[in-house]
Chains A and B, each alone.
Chain A
Amino acid sequence: QSALTQPASVSGSPGQSITLTCTGASSDVGRYNLVSWYQQHPGKAPKLMIYEVTKRPSGVSNRFSGSKSGNTASLTISGLQAEDEADYYCSSYAGSWRVFGGGTKLTVL
């Protein structure tokens, strides 16, 4: 049950596109198309942004998109906005367990 690996921080300018990565193993990210992404603002509960690698819940901006290649999943945010500044966490199904990444702090410059 090792945690998924995410870069600690990423930054970008308004209007730019950025990609956050999430690296797991062949037993979780690589085996299942069950990766989800969460956005968390300070003091708030996490918010679901992407599920099943590429699907976007109703109400989430289409500026957010997900993908996966091998053991690495990615979240791309296009047209970066100030309100996107937050912590982002990836998660994967791993059989009886679930695993999370350590989170990436996104700073909008």
Chain B
Amino acid sequence: QVQLVQSGAEVKRPGASVKVSCKPSGYTFTDYYMHWLRQAPGQGLEWMGWISPNTGGTSYAQKFQGRVTMTRDTSISTFSMELTRLTNDDTATYYCAREEGSSWYAYWGQGTLVTVSS
């Protein structure tokens, strides 16, 4: 069965960076794009971007351009999302989600809580 297992919770200081990983299993790594989304406490879902597992090509939401980097390591079948210059507003649960077809997400990671606090 398809599973997306994310790395554990993180606590970071303002100005620091965080890197969250997502390791899929149960399917061929290169068959599906991976997307990253986040959800601040009590708020809605926010799309951050996607990465192609084959080429490493990416597309990021304008809001995160210049601060986010999505990568994949085909040797260990793992995706990662790094967010830099963190502020308190980046406190959120970050999800990876496998994109089906052209637009929907049937499989989600369990979420990684990133807390930014001084």
Contacts and interface: CB of A to CB of B under 8 A. Distances in A.
Interface of A: 1, 3, 32, 34-36, 38, 40, 45-46, 48, 51-52, 57, 87, 89, 91-93, 96-103
Interface string B42-81: 0011110010000000010111000000000000000000
What's the interface size class on B, roughly? 20 to 34
B110 interface: yes
Contacts of B46: 100
B45 A89 contact: yes
B103 A93 contact: yes
A97 B104 contact: no
Nearest to B49: A97
A95 to B, nearest CB: 9
Contact of B44 (A45, A92, A97, A103): A103
Interface of B: 35, 37, 44-47, 50, 59, 61-63, 95, 100-106, 108-111
A35 B111 CA distance: 23
A96 B47 contact: no
Given A89-B44, A100-B47, 12 more contacts: A1-B62, A45-B108, A45-B109, A46-B108, A51-B100, A87-B44, A91-B47, A91-B103, A93-B103, A97-B59, A100-B37, A102-B44
Contacts of B63: 1
